[in-house]
Amino acid sequence: MQRLTLLEYKNYRYLKPAAGLVALAVLAYLFHSPVLGPRGDTWLGYTLAVIGAAAVFILAWYGVVRRRIPVLAERRKMTPLTLLQEKNFQERRMNRVRFLRRRASTLQGWLSAHIYLGLATFVIVTLHSGFHFGWNIHTLTYALLIGVIVTGLYGVYAYLRFPRLMTDNLGGDSMSTLLADISELDQLARTNALRLPDEFDAIVQRSSRDTRITGGLLEQLRGRPRLCATRVGIDQLQQLNVALDPAQIQVFRDICSLLLRKESQLKRVRLELMYKSRLQIWLHVHVPLAIGLIAALFAHVTAVFFFW
């Protein structure tokens, strides 16, 4: 429930003005009756255009704020020399804690405002267009705005969902401990396989050699490779029809158990990489679209004032 504070920030502080702005724009649009119908070159169209353009630049400024706040927090870190010179260390430490909390709250507030203002901007710009679209720079600007908003909404979904799933997946472990566990299980399986006939040893060695944590971007986003060598090895071992003595049967069972545990840990690592990829991939689309939107907006304004 705590993650919902992003949208509920301080009792929906930024939802209310955004909703009010949208309501005023819709009412003005409904009661405005220009001779040629709703258009972007009426007084209301220009008013909505100014509001929409200002909103786009405010939204873009969030990227600057998001990078600036961690830098300011980093500058407040105390060096060992400062600690030796500081007479009241406890007070300084509490001041720094309060400073970091204020900065975190400020960033959360900016993000909350960023979300609601972005949704309001979509409505305002749509009304500004008067629902007139075509193959021109104006519609391209509108399309880029929609792309920025859609990717931004996915980003909100990702930040509300995936961090919790990552915590549930890892539990009390870390990626380094999981990878170390996989390596240890793999080594034990290969060592035990030396006590079995060559057919078994070859399968285990090939499974170890060909196992990959992940592959390309699509495999990371899917959370699994096209073919898991560990799973293939388990299936091949279980299909072998070779006579084993009682001691070898127990070794065989131990190897299968080790490989099953290895497969389970591999799935957890792949899930972690999948969540991280899905958490970050949208930024590689959202940011370029936002830059393109600003460039197209300048072209749109230039075309309206000089060539329209």
Closest C-alpha among 188, 107, 120 to residue 149? 120
Highest mean pLDDT among 37-41, 84-88, 181-185, 282-286: 181-185
Domain edges within the chain: 2-170+282-306, 175-279
Q: For residue 232, what pLDDT band results from cuts at 50, 70 and 90? A: very high
Residue pLDDT, tens place only, 33-73: 887 778 778 889 899 999 999 999 998 888 777 766 554 44
Closest C-alpha among 91, 107, 95 to residue 159? 107
SS3 content of the chain, % helix, strand, coil (to 5): 80, 0, 20
Q: Whose structure tokens read 């021109």?
A: 136
Tell me which DSSP letter residue 3 carries: G
Residue 116 CB partners (closer than 8 Å, separation 6+): 14, 15, 18, 19
Q: For residue 265, what pLDDT band results from cuts at 50, 70 and 90? A: very high
151, two tokens: 């990717």
Give the rounded percent of residues in the chain with a pLDDT score beyond 90. Answer: 49
Q: Whose structure tokens read 């939204």?
A: 59
Rounded to two decimals, the pTM is 0.77
Highest mean pLDDT among 1-10, 13-22, 38-47, 57-66: 13-22
Residue 107 CB partners (closer than 8 Å, separation 6+): 65, 66, 69
130: how many CB neighbours lie within 10 A of its CB? 20
Averaged pLDDT for residues 200-226: 88
